Structure 1
Amino acid sequence: MSTSTGAARSSRPRTSRAHAPRRSDAWQRRLPLLPALIFTIIATQIPFLITIWYSLRSWNLLNPASDVFVGLSNYIEIFADRTFRQVAMNSVIYTLGCVLIAMVLGILFALLLDRKFLGRGVVRTLLITPFLIMPVAAATLWSTSMFNPTYGLVNWVLGIFGIPAVDWTSSHPVISILIALVWQWTPFMMLLILAGLQSQPKDVLEAAQMDGASALQTFFFITLPHLRRYIELSVLLGAIYVVNTFDQIYLMTAGGPGTSSANLPYYIYQRAFLGFDIGQAAAMGVVVVIATIIIANFALRLIFKGFMSTEQN
């Protein structure tokens, strides 16, 4: 017994000594990242904490005496606000509509560019161009050159078929903004899907062709499962960017008529810089950030599960 006890005691210091270099090595690897971590905390978390503090106060810039602590009253009021629910639904429509339509078009264009044909480089450049244009310039282009009721290109094309002119941004504001968003984000989806297509092993496609599989069968049973990770990543990144859309709404419809085409970022802008209600605007911002984080974490878990299952297979 004494011999075994002595051996156990003698092994403990060796274990702690073995772990000590490992911990020091881990800290040496993490130390160069510490300045970036500190900068990220200062640049993101401190402003967010200040926003939470503002959201707990009733503060209108037109009435300096209104700066009082109200607790969760701002959150209760915004969830009871019918306009807030409307613009939240508009944000969902813009995000889901743009991402899904742009994804389908991106897959079609990527399949086109994955084949060799004369002028493929020119076609690829033209298809990528909308994504390279600044959002402000793209919104101005669609509101003045495309959807203008007097000299817009869309009404001119419709006039050829005898269809009367339509004031798109006034009569159909949500559809107009959605078309502009799809036009700008389709190239982004196309590039990611094209990267997935070009990473697909060619011998697998040749084997499917030798086995007599048709083009549709090859796409649905071989190509589409291979593109799953790229599609999930495209949807996640696209949704994160599209949900923050502001330029198109501000320049094309100004959120109107009324607030029928506004989304959450634009409505927060209206409450903060037009209504001067800092408390409710901050509460809306906190709600949007928390909802975005929850959705992004859920999507990231799905993507990581897909990566892990692919690696195990």
Structure 2
Amino acid sequence: MSDVSTNALARGDEDDFEHRDPDNHDLEPAPGGKTALARTGAWARRAPLLPALIFMIIATQLPFVATIVISMMRWNAYYPDDVGFAGFDNFVTVFTNVNTRKAIWVTILLTLIVVIISLLLGLGIALLLDRKFKGRGIVRTLMITPFLIVPVAAALLWKHALFNPEYGLFNGFLKMVLGDDAPQPDWITNNPLLAVAVSLIWQWTPFMMLILLAGLQSRPMDVVEAARIDGASNWQIFKHMTLPHLRPYIELSTLLGAIYIVQNFDAVFTITSGGLGTANLPYLIYQTFYQAHDYGQASAAGVIVVLGTIIIATAALRTVLSLFKEEN
């Protein structure tokens, strides 16, 4: 090796040693080689994802761009000759419409009721299922079944099998307990918004329970046992240790639940058909588009709902990222 090195240096051939160390190991590739190799590897990894990316753009972004364009048009199917550019007039109409303001209030109220009650029930059930007992796996499986039911089927179940004043289980239970003279209320007519909320709470409580149960099972149990040995009560452990640990999981379940419930259409459409003051924003969009045939205003309302959902989703993603950082 020393003879070869001496001959190479004697010829002044420094290129052979530009990227080598004394032990004959490459220090770096030839100029330009590293960049080309990195670009090739990056494209080789990304190329299989391109068809999925193109499909997602076509399936999601193009319709949204078309919705934005239509939202700035004056387009009502009842007046086919009066179609043109309207600017932001549709958005102004949406915000100043009395029905829209009512739908926004119903959407906010329904979301708050369902999220808060589902979160509290999910936390209670998660605390119970975190204990060890026989058949815990079967109970967990049964508890998540409401979340696996198709939303329309769940709404139909509550409307006909439970709420129906003539043959529903609720009124049947009242008769069984109080006798034939028991009151037979029309649950949906008397409490329409509560009827929709109850069906959604029943379906979304398992979702909250799953997230919170995952948080409970990630607790450092050695610290909990040390607190018990030091004389801490169950309430003190829950207040000062369990709740602070569950904070990001509670935030995540709240934000994800809010995203889905804001967009809920199935329960409102199936149980009340938007009547009796239960029309939320998605149902209002349905009415504006399919009944009033005002495509511009319906698109404007849809854009508003999407933007609101994006804001909530951004907060949810930040919560997820903070959760991963804390775990790491």
Aligned AA (1:107): L
Which residue, out of 265, 274, 280, partners 1:246? Answer: 265
User: What is aligned with 1:10?
Assistant: none
Q: How many residues in Structure 1 have an aligned counterpart in Structure 2?
A: 298
Which residue, out of 45, 66, 71, partners 2:82? Answer: 66
Structure 1 residues 287 and 15: alpha-carbon distance in aligned structure 2, compared to 1, 3 A threshold: farther
Q: Deviations over 1:65-105 (max 9, x none)?
A: 12222111111111110110111111112222211211111
Aligned AA (1:211): D
The 5-angstrom pairing of residues 11-160 of structure 1 reads 21-158=37-174, 160=177
State the identity %.
52
Shift, 1:191, TM fit: 1.4
Q: Which runs of 5+ in 1 are unaligned?
A: 1-13
The CA distance in 1 between the partners of 2:123 and 2:302, in whole Å, is: 34
Q: Does the aligned pair in 2 maintain the 1:229–1:307 contact within 8 Å?
A: no
Q: Does the aligned pair in 2 maintain the 1:232–1:303 contact within 8 Å?
A: no
User: What is aligned with 2:5?
Assistant: none
User: What is aligned with 2:325?
Assistant: 308
The CA distance in 2 between the partners of 1:125 and 1:308, in whole Å, is: 30
Shift, 1:20, TM fit: 5.3
The CA distance in 1 between the partners of 2:38 and 2:105, in whole Å, is: 51
Shift, 1:309, TM fit: 5.1
The CA distance in 1 between the partners of 2:312 and 2:280, in whole Å, is: 17
The CA distance in 2 between the partners of 1:214 and 1:244, in whole Å, is: 42
The CA distance in 2 between the partners of 1:180 and 1:222, in whole Å, is: 33
The CA distance in 1 between the partners of 2:158 and 2:258, in whole Å, is: 22
The 5-angstrom pairing of residues 184-199 of structure 1 reads 184-199=203-218
The CA distance in 2 between the partners of 1:306 and 1:127, in whole Å, is: 25
Q: Deviations over 1:191-240 (max 9, x none)?
A: 12122222223222222211211111112222222222322222222122
The CA distance in 1 between the partners of 2:155 and 2:258, in whole Å, is: 19
Aligned AA (2:317): L
User: What is aligned with 2:293?
Assistant: 276
SS in 2 for 1:48: helix
Q: Does the aligned pair in 1 maintain the 2:259–2:312 contact within 8 Å?
A: no
The CA distance in 2 between the partners of 1:86 and 1:60, in whole Å, is: 23
TM-score where L is the length of structure 1: 0.87
User: What is aligned with 2:315?
Assistant: 298
Shift, 1:158, TM fit: 4.6
Q: Deviations over 1:112-164 (max 9, x none)?
A: 11112233334323322211221111111111121112332223445546873
The CA distance in 1 between the partners of 2:153 and 2:122, in whole Å, is: 22
Q: Does the aligned pair in 1 maintain the 2:248–2:319 contact within 8 Å?
A: no
Q: Does the aligned pair in 1 maintain the 2:123–2:209 contact within 8 Å?
A: yes
Which residue, out of 213, 221, 238, partners 1:202? Answer: 221
Structure 1 residues 99 and 16: alpha-carbon distance in aligned structure 2, compared to 1, 3 A threshold: farther
Shift, 1:49, TM fit: 0.7
Deviates more, 1:142-151 or 1:39-48: 142-151
Q: Does the aligned pair in 2 maintain the 1:58–1:279 contact within 8 Å?
A: yes
Shift, 1:302, TM fit: 4.1
The CA distance in 2 between the partners of 1:121 and 1:309, in whole Å, is: 28
The CA distance in 1 between the partners of 2:135 and 2:327, in whole Å, is: 36
User: What is aligned with 1:228?
Assistant: 247
Aligned AA (2:286): Y
Shift, 1:109, TM fit: 0.7
Q: Deviations over 1:153-199 (max 9, x none)?
A: 22344554687332221221111100000000111111121222222
The CA distance in 2 between the partners of 1:309 and 1:205, in whole Å, is: 19
SS in 2 for 1:66: coil
SS in 1 for 2:80: strand
| Runs of 4 or more above 6 Å deviation | 14-17
Which residue, out of 300, 304, 317, partners 1:287? Answer: 304
The CA distance in 1 between the partners of 2:327 and 2:215, in whole Å, is: 14
